[in-house]
Structure 1
Amino acid sequence: MSKEHHETNKLSLGGLLVTLGIIFGDIGTSPLYVMQAIIGKEVIDEELVFGSLSLIFWTLTLQTTLKYVILILRADNRGEGGIFALYALVRRHAKWLTVPAIIGGAALLADGIITPPISVSSAIEGLQIKYPEIETIPIVIGILTVLFLIQSLGTNVVGRAFGPIMLIWFSMLAILGISQVIHNPSIFRAINPYYAYKLLFFHKEGFWLLGSVFLCTTGAEALYSDLGHCGRQNIRVSWVFVKITLLLNYFGQGAWAISQHGTHLDGRKPFYEIVPEWFLLPAILIATAAAIIASQALITGSYTLISEGIRLSFWPKVRLNYPSDKKGQLYIPSINWFLLAGCIGIVLYFKESSNMEAAYGLAITLTMMMTTILAVVYLYTHKFNKIWVGLFLVVYLAIELSFLAANLLKFTHGGWVSLLIATLIGGVMIVWYRSSKIKNRLTEYVKLEKYIPGLKELSEDVSIPKYATHLIFMSNANRVTDIESKVMYSILEKRPKRADIFWFVHVDTTDEPYTRKYKVDVIAKDDIIKVNFKLGFRVEQRINLYFKKVVEDLVKSGEVDITSRYESLSKQNVIGDFRFVVLEKYLSYDNKLPFFEKLVMETYFFIKQFTTPEHKWFGLDASNVKVEKVPLVIRPNTEINLERIM
């Protein structure tokens, strides 16, 4: 772990404040809608309220505190967390682990589309208490649009204000809760798990209420996903404060609900009912700010998820922007507009936060289950006690399967929307992953040693115009001895490309997040050199910049002479030109494919035309890049029957 990374993650007051602003936005805004979702359609009575509070308490304790804060945060990948970081830690142990990784990643991204609308809507709808006729939809869409429009500027400046705002928010939650529980301190009896048991098994709707109870822990996955931004200790310590404030507010809402015994909510929102009338507008403003911060955390998390997915071959290579040099600062234009369109669609379709609750929770339940499966593999392979690992698997799959079953009740009421979004995203991930495997399996490699004499002769053949002094090919061959046959075809046959030095550059994505290493193999001195970059799955691809650094190092060590070999220029010590060649594949008509593979590859090439070109993805300067299109013949069609006629 780098020194900078360690400094960012060590326990400190500043780190605790930043953690409040970055990590807990999603779970911290849950009090806006959870109690309303649980008791909204029921007749309010003591059994319902006490049972609901007991379920909330034990869900936050078992699911958030024990599973994520205490256990899952241990599974860090050089300080980084999240389902793809966890997958990178365990993927070498079994190929089937790509399945939970893709399902979990797709569901988490779908959650990133639903969280901003429900959080902002829940906050803004408080205005209807004071102004019943106000239309909240335009306000919500306006806030979300502005939020997504400013993403390209980066969150460096705004991020500094997140911590203090969330500190105010959590303090407000605690104070509002205390103002109610002091009138009915017996509400704390709900901590007894008996009330949860009684509601689950003896209330007519008890088990199905789990779908709404689950909303109190939906932000737990963000604790793990943002581990790299704040560090394990800062998250664990600040969670103690956050959990206390959340529980005080939930129990405060419960105390108010008890006072409404025998009635229905009839559209009333328990959160705003415990807010004094004189403080209503400030409370709405603070809640809206907290909802925006919660949305920002999900947006940033989505960017990180996609950037990791690209390096792990789960997502197309799309343009990544880095608004600043600050760690974690990332902006992906295509994902930004995809999320905005999705959020606006959710708002227009569901209109109110109470309707959005039906779509919310189902997708993230799948993510949590997939995290459990990957975590079990991690714990097992890292020599944790097998009995405890087995107990962890049984207990949490039982809990999360129960939540999933209850959430499936929401399917026809809007849950299908989140599953549809997750399915579409997962479909893209499957296509990209399978297509990469198909290409890698069937790409033809040849031994580079076989072509050394020919390349040397070509380099010295003055009858062929020189293509470049230094010719660099981007290669997929990770072995030093190998090279793609298409590369050699491009150099020797398609159009002979004479150069003084032939460079072959390969980029290997490592399972560690921030690796920046390279290895140089001089195949033939002053003629053929192979460079292998090892870059972490969170490292920006700036091959142009990195390659220049490699050349500088080689010149300093005397391993290569980059002076132009043109006689007139050599006398003046002029540096030779560098030219990159990127081979861009297309699907050849000369193929015979099984139906599924054909469908995968056709979908792959259809999507690929809308993604970032290879040379831009690698960070190569367009002025010195040649893009060559080459046919990808996956399986030649050899069954050709031709009859010659005379």
Structure 2
Amino acid sequence: MSGKGEKGDEDIELTPAGEEKKEPKQRKSSWAKLRHVDSFNAEAGRILSALQGHNTKKGWMTTVSLAFQTIGVVYGDIGTSPLYTFAGIFPEGIDQQEHLLGALSLILYSIILMPFCKYTFVVLNANDNGEGGTFALYSLLCRHIKMSLLPNQQPEDRELSNYKLETSSSQMKRAHYIRGKLENSQAAKVALFLFTILGVSMVMGDGILTPSIDEFSDAVVWISVAILFILFYAQRFGTDKVGFSFAPILTVWFLLLVGIGFYNLNRYGWSVLRAFNPYYMVAYFRGRAQQAWISLGGVVLSTTGTEAMFADLGHFSVRAIQLSFSCVVLPALLVAYCGQAAYLSQNPYDVLDTFYKSIPDPIYWPTFVVAVLAAIIASQAMISGVFSIITQSLSVGCFPRVKVVHTSEKYEGQVYIPDVNYIIMILCILVTIVFRSTDKIGHAYGIAVVAVMFISTCMVSLIMLVVWKTNILFIIFFFGLFAFIELTYLSSVLSKFVQGGYLPLAYAMVMMSIMGIWHYAYKKRYEFELKNKVSSDYIKQLARDPRINRVPGVGLLYSELVHGIPPIFPHFISSIPSVHSVLIFVSIKKLPICKIAPEERFLFRYVEPREYRMYRCIVRYGYMDVTGTNKEFEQQLLENLKDFIRNEYFMTHGRTAEDTTTGEGSSQISVVEEEIRFIERAVDEGIIYLLGETKVMAKQNASIFKKLVVDYIYTFLRNNFRQGETEMMVPHTRLLRVGMTFEI
């Protein structure tokens, strides 16, 4: 983000960094003016000394340990792609040796360019304070440019971390120009949001197709169904229970790939290594023409699971993934595919079952067992990824509320969502039974994989332009190269639309519709509250009204509003003409930031008149933060309220610790301590949660389509998913609810 100081200040560029920043002129007057406008802004703009997330430097031993763990969690999908890639390229067999070399060349360079060059050394760096995935790219963009459609554009939402001063340059001027164009375009904001949820939907589609393609058995379909059922049933126990067993199994798997690959190269000939010459790719397209273009859908299967490298970044680190992929996964895959090509050069008709037929007889059954285990682990990784995505979607208001179970006390990112788990299980089983063909499932799988890759290319290119301010020539090279490759692959897999490629698109459209409709109603509800918030005069009149009783205890009234009193408050007063002795208007903000430090989580201010004991509180959570129990939340909120009362006195009166020794200082301190004791007595009387039951309906003169979306689809979603008090873990014995209806 950028900003200008007061008149006479220097023009500065502010970006999250954690470095020292140059002090602008007239800081005291700017600070005072900022506090005069809103006490939240000053508190929200405080500079912290440490960065959030996983950006802190780790020692080499820690990095190596994390790199070993990534082998079991991140690479199960891409590691098992040798099981079916050549079958996807040559479903009818290999007719010429040159075609085999051309296909191998395409596989080798696809792996080298996309997962290695693009993801390992570029996309991984586009993380949101250590978190990866499509939402992380969206979050990073929204933190630097006002592109978010969500109601989180107040200073206390945006100014969360550290800032640094950047000097003027041509890259900065270009970034300012592009940012200005984007921020002033509502169409650009909508397009970015739709692009993001499309990528998220495709990744979730990947999570459905991965178990189907990995667990599929052409011989006995129902064995595959049984394995799928067991796999999904086991999700409730949490990935941490079996996490330590994943890395050794996948390590053995990659060692087997290397061993079998070298065995086949030594037995059937090393001549296939000529495929490293890009000439064979050109010859392949010349020789097979349209068939070569169609076969690209099979080549894509060699890169499946690439997105998991980015999506699972939050559990590890950039260096750990770079180390494990470069030193273990990449060499193993290249050797495995070269070994399979060497085998096929002598056995061209074994293409549909290349991997298993190329295994030496003495180790066939041990390898078969490890292959099954590796396929299960691959499925586990993608399913866990879907749970994480749903959790992130919930945090930014893009998905109906569902129950999220944190399965590990040590790793907050390990979550389990029962409802989503069983829905995915049913869909996977249906896909396996209906398609009954790895080839058809592969067609659908390829579309999901390439679509997510292209979306990441576009979003990372935009980050290069406005966030990193990269040299324009590198941006053109990056976008031009990978967009060309991925669009070519996408055109190929889309040619299989009728044969099964429609599946991920249909699923993505359903998920996008759910996320879009929910987000639309969520945003409209917030805008209604914003336009109809209660004026400060109403509160002053309320304070003087003798008919309003003060009830002992603390009332927590929840609202989406950051500024002002929500319109639901007068409904409470009209229904129950009483107010708790301490009333706190609580706004829980789910921001597109991975984690928010505890010291930045609670922001308070007084609601005038102060003697009425009413406070405004903003509670900020990132999409990877854990809310905790209601008891923990109450304790944290009240302790932070006490700190606010003390700090507010010192900031308002300019007092220091030495001033408390004087008579006047002691008198003022006693006033502060009396207010704190008053709050403690109110807590002893009990804490009551006040929630508004807001019903959203389309206006009478709205279009039929809008009535269908709001009155039926949104209402159905809202009625069949968890309610607000369940999500916030509000105890029913201390809940008071008042209903309210508004039209959009």
Fold-level match, TM-score > 0.5?
A: yes
Other-structure match for 2:439: 354
588 and 306 in structure 1: CA distance in 2 versus 1, 3 angstrom threshold: closer
CA apart distance, 1:440 = 2.6
Secondary structure (helix, strand or coil) at the match of 1:541 reads coil
What is the alpha-carbon distance in structure 1 between the residues aligned to residue 54 and residue 521 of structure 2? 37
CA apart distance, 1:434 = 2.0
79 and 3 in structure 1: CA distance in 2 versus 1, 3 angstrom threshold: closer
Q: Does 2:514 match 1:514?
A: no
Other-structure match for 1:53: 104
227 and 213 in structure 1: CA distance in 2 versus 1, 3 angstrom threshold: same
CA apart distance, 1:48 = 1.7
Q: CA contact under 8 A between 1:50 and 1:195: conserved in structure 2?
A: yes
Secondary structure (helix, strand or coil) at the match of 1:592 reads coil
Matches within 5 A, 1:423-572: 423-443=509-529, 444-457=531-544, 461=547, 464=549, 469-479=553-563, 482-485=564-567, 487-515=568-596, 516=598, 517-523=601-607, 524-525=610-611, 527-542=613-628, 544=630, 545-555=632-642, 557=646, 558=672, 561=675
What is the alpha-carbon distance in structure 2 between the residues aligned to residue 102 and residue 216 of structure 1? 25
Other-structure match for 1:128: none
Secondary structure (helix, strand or coil) at the match of 1:503 reads strand
Other-structure match for 2:488: 402
Other-structure match for 1:601: 710
Secondary structure (helix, strand or coil) at the match of 2:620 reads strand
CA RMSD between the two structures? 2.4
Q: CA contact under 8 A between 1:8 and 1:230: conserved in structure 2?
A: no
Amino acid at match of 1:110: G
Other-structure match for 2:198: 103
Q: CA contact under 8 A between 2:87 and 2:354: conserved in structure 1?
A: yes
Q: Deviations over 1:382-402 (max 9, x none)?
A: 211112112222221111110
- Which deviates more from structure 2 when the two are superposed, residues 55-64 or residues 193-202? 193-202
CA apart distance, 1:607 = 0.8
Q: CA contact under 8 A between 1:9 and 1:232: conserved in structure 2?
A: no
Other-structure match for 2:300: 214
Other-structure match for 1:632: 742
365 and 195 in structure 1: CA distance in 2 versus 1, 3 angstrom threshold: same
215 and 191 in structure 1: CA distance in 2 versus 1, 3 angstrom threshold: same
Secondary structure (helix, strand or coil) at the match of 1:319 reads coil
What are the ranges of 5 or more consecutive residues in structure 2 without an aligned counterpart? 1-50, 148-181, 183-188, 647-671
Q: Deviations over 1:8-33 (max 9, x none)?
A: 89753321110101111111110010
Other-structure match for 2:134: 83
369 and 595 in structure 1: CA distance in 2 versus 1, 3 angstrom threshold: farther
Q: Does 2:346 match 1:259?
A: yes
Q: CA contact under 8 A between 1:317 and 1:617: conserved in structure 2?
A: yes
Q: CA contact under 8 A between 1:474 and 1:581: conserved in structure 2?
A: yes
The one of 308, 321, 334 aligned to 1:235:
321
9 and 514 in structure 1: CA distance in 2 versus 1, 3 angstrom threshold: farther
600 and 467 in structure 1: CA distance in 2 versus 1, 3 angstrom threshold: farther
Q: CA contact under 8 A between 1:86 and 1:375: conserved in structure 2?
A: yes
Q: Deviations over 1:533-567 (max 9, x none)?
A: 121121133473323212134347557857789xx
Other-structure match for 2:331: 244
What is the alpha-carbon distance in structure 2 between the residues aligned to residue 454 and residue 312 of structure 1? 36
Q: Deviations over 1:24-70 (max 9, x none)?
A: 11111100100111122133421221011100011011111111111
Matches within 5 A, 1:60-459: 60-91=111-142, 92-93=146-147, 94=182, 95=189, 96-121=191-216, 135-183=219-267, 184-204=269-289, 205-240=291-326, 241-261=328-348, 264-265=349-350, 268-327=352-411, 328-381=413-466, 382-443=468-529, 444-457=531-544
Other-structure match for 1:618: 728
Q: CA contact under 8 A between 1:153 and 1:323: conserved in structure 2?
A: yes
What is the alpha-carbon distance in structure 2 between the residues aligned to residue 599 and residue 8 of structure 1? 53
608 and 47 in structure 1: CA distance in 2 versus 1, 3 angstrom threshold: same
What is the alpha-carbon distance in structure 2 between the residues aligned to residue 99 and residue 613 of structure 1? 26
Amino acid at match of 2:375: A
Q: CA contact under 8 A between 1:564 and 1:576: conserved in structure 2?
A: no
Q: What percentage of residue pairs aligned between the two structures are identical?
A: 27
What are the ranges of 5 or more consecutive residues in structure 1 without an aligned counterpart? 126-134, 635-646
Q: Deviations over 1:579-638 (max 9, x none)?
A: 11111211347643244433332221211111110011122222212233211222xxxx
370 and 596 in structure 1: CA distance in 2 versus 1, 3 angstrom threshold: farther
Secondary structure (helix, strand or coil) at the match of 1:79 reads coil
409 and 437 in structure 1: CA distance in 2 versus 1, 3 angstrom threshold: same
What is the alpha-carbon distance in structure 2 between the residues aligned to residue 114 and residue 165 of structure 1? 22
CA apart distance, 1:472 = 1.2
Secondary structure (helix, strand or coil) at the match of 1:109 reads helix
Q: CA contact under 8 A between 1:25 and 1:291: conserved in structure 2?
A: yes
Q: CA contact under 8 A between 1:541 and 1:619: conserved in structure 2?
A: no
526 and 164 in structure 1: CA distance in 2 versus 1, 3 angstrom threshold: farther
Q: CA contact under 8 A between 1:502 and 1:528: conserved in structure 2?
A: yes
CA apart distance, 1:467 = 5.7
Amino acid at match of 2:434: Y
Q: CA contact under 8 A between 2:642 and 2:676: conserved in structure 1?
A: yes
431 and 468 in structure 1: CA distance in 2 versus 1, 3 angstrom threshold: farther
Q: CA contact under 8 A between 1:322 and 1:330: conserved in structure 2?
A: yes
Amino acid at match of 2:463: Y
What is the alpha-carbon distance in structure 1 between the residues aligned to residue 522 and residue 581 of structure 2? 33
What is the alpha-carbon distance in structure 2 between the residues aligned to residue 51 and residue 591 of structure 1? 63
What is the alpha-carbon distance in structure 1 between the residues aligned to residue 112 and residue 692 of structure 2? 53
CA apart distance, 1:364 = 2.1
Q: Deviations over 1:299-332 (max 9, x none)?
A: 1100111111112222112111112212221111
Q: CA contact under 8 A between 1:180 and 1:255: conserved in structure 2?
A: yes
44 and 439 in structure 1: CA distance in 2 versus 1, 3 angstrom threshold: same
Secondary structure (helix, strand or coil) at the match of 2:730 reads coil
25 and 7 in structure 1: CA distance in 2 versus 1, 3 angstrom threshold: farther
Q: CA contact under 8 A between 1:201 and 1:207: conserved in structure 2?
A: no
Amino acid at match of 1:120: E
Q: CA contact under 8 A between 1:320 and 1:331: conserved in structure 2?
A: yes
What is the alpha-carbon distance in structure 1 between the residues aligned to residue 520 and residue 699 of structure 2? 20
Q: CA contact under 8 A between 1:472 and 1:578: conserved in structure 2?
A: yes
Secondary structure (helix, strand or coil) at the match of 1:290 reads helix
Q: CA contact under 8 A between 2:555 and 2:580: conserved in structure 1?
A: yes
CA apart distance, 1:167 = 0.4
Amino acid at match of 2:220: T
What is the alpha-carbon distance in structure 1 between the residues aligned to residue 559 and residue 112 of structure 2? 50
Amino acid at match of 2:736: K
What is the alpha-carbon distance in structure 2 between the residues aligned to residue 258 and residue 354 of structure 1? 22
597 and 543 in structure 1: CA distance in 2 versus 1, 3 angstrom threshold: farther
Secondary structure (helix, strand or coil) at the match of 1:359 reads helix
Aligned residues: 609
4 and 234 in structure 1: CA distance in 2 versus 1, 3 angstrom threshold: closer
Q: CA contact under 8 A between 1:112 and 1:298: conserved in structure 2?
A: yes
- Which deviates more from structure 2 when the two are superposed, residues 319-328 or residues 82-91? 319-328
With structure 2 as the length reference, what TM-score do the two structures score?
0.78
